[in-house]
Amino acid sequence: MSLRLGVIGAGAIGKEHIRRCTQVLQGATVVAVSDINLENARETVKALGLQAEVYADGNDVINAQDVDALIVTSWDPTHEGFTLAAIEAGKPVFCEKPLAMTADGCRRIVEAEMKAGRRLVQVGFMRPYDEGYQALKSVIDSGEIGAPLMLHCAHRNPEVGDNYTTDMAITSTLIHELDVLRWLLNDDYASVQVRFPRATSHTHAKLKDPQIVMLETRKGTLIDVEIFVNCRYGYDIQCEVVGESGIARLPEPSSVQMRKAAKLATTILTDWKDRFIKAYDVELQAFINDVKAGELRGPSAWDGFAASVAADACLKAQESGALETIRLPERPAFYLR
């Protein structure tokens, strides 16, 4: 039987996830959509020709009789409330990153889920589902380049809107690295410092852009991540791992090489929707399959919490300029898998 999904938030990624659940993936049907801007929800349902109910309030989607599971793609500050309400209703929920705005918010979700007695939450950290990151992890795990000593990473967006502020470089953008790098290295973070170089003239008063985040892991690997969200030239994700006996880089997305007009060129993508298009498909298909099988196995509420513990320290480091400690509590047995 088809899994009946309710989606809260029909913006950029909400529309994308509804499209993939409807046209690409197997085993699910979107039966309810809500958006605080009702027109977004109505237009999405109409454009895809869905037989879905449109609700003004996300909580009505959660409690609708015919909704089996939820996808939360509304703005970041709304994630915690909708995820807690889904757990309360006993319904599995795929929540886009960040799971909550603070580690405390994520902890409330972890506690509610443990109280419910089974995993009900998958966080929209899609990079562990990306073939490139998986290949990079295989190289590290095989020991081919020895122990990872340093990582040089970059997270570049071509541009962001005026409502994107300095803190969002951490909570909305770096949060992907905070998740994927602990998975890649099988390690956790110990400390962080954030530095701001000369700002680009393409930014605005409330956004310091770019920024450099320097993390140290518990095993002593040093990581630098450049976050540059008005880089202009493209959507570019870089990750280079320097090991004891070699260097491994995240593969570039495949692109035809062209020789033309005295130039050798390959295309750089410009949109996150395209850069991780397959990973989004795989993460959501996994969610659908796992809900049907009765056991969620993707990025957990604990992973959401771990990323947010590090994010809180990064925000503190943005303000202080000092080295800030990252203290992740011990993982409860509930989340050992």
Cβ 225 vs Cβ 170: under 8 Å: no
Cβ 133 vs Cβ 240: under 8 Å: no
269 sits near ligand NAI (criterion: CB under 6 A): no
CA dist., res. 258 & res. 203, Å (int): 33
272 sits near ligand ISE (criterion: CB under 6 A): yes
Other beta carbons within 10 angstroms of residue 277's beta carbon come to 17
Cβ 97 vs Cβ 36: under 8 Å: no
25 sits near ligand NAD (criterion: CB under 6 A): no
158 sits near ligand NAD (criterion: CB under 6 A): no
12 sits near ligand NAD (criterion: CB under 6 A): yes
- Mark the segment that binds ligand ISE (CB under 6 A) among 172-180, 262-270, 305-313, 320-328: 172-180
75 sits near ligand NAI (criterion: CB under 6 A): yes
- Mark the segment that binds ligand NAD (CB under 6 A) among 36-44, 103-111, 187-195, 250-258: 36-44
CB of residue 119 to ligand ISE, shortest distance in Å: 23
Among 59, 70, 53, smallest CA distance to 4 is for 70
Q: Between residues 13 and 36, which has the closer beta carbon with respect to ligand ISE?
A: 13
CA dist., res. 192 & res. 178, Å (int): 11
Query: For ligand NAI, which residue of 35, 113, 179, 324 counts as binding (CB under 6 A)?
Result: 35
Among ligand NAD, ligand NAI, ligand ISE, none, residue 132 binds (CB under 5-8 Å by kind)? none
172 sits near ligand NAD (criterion: CB under 6 A): yes
Helix axes 103-116, 79-88, angle to 10 degrees: 10
Q: Tokens 């319904």 appear where?
A: 91
Cβ 188 vs Cβ 231: under 8 Å: no
CB of residue 41 to ligand NAD, shortest distance in Å: 8
- Mark the segment that binds ligand ISE (CB under 6 A) among 49-57, 171-179, 255-263, 301-309: 171-179
Question: What is the secondary structure of 129-185 as a DSSP string?
Answer: G-HHHHHHHHHHHHTTT-SEEEEEEEEE-S---TT--TTHIIIIIIHHHHHHHHHHH
Query: For ligand ISE, which residue of 172, 191, 217, 300 counts as binding (CB under 6 A)?
Result: 172
Residues interacting with ligand NAD, by CB under 6 A? 8-14, 34-37, 40, 58, 73-76, 78, 96-97, 124, 126, 172, 272
Residues interacting with ligand ISE, by CB under 6 A? 157, 172-173, 176, 229, 272
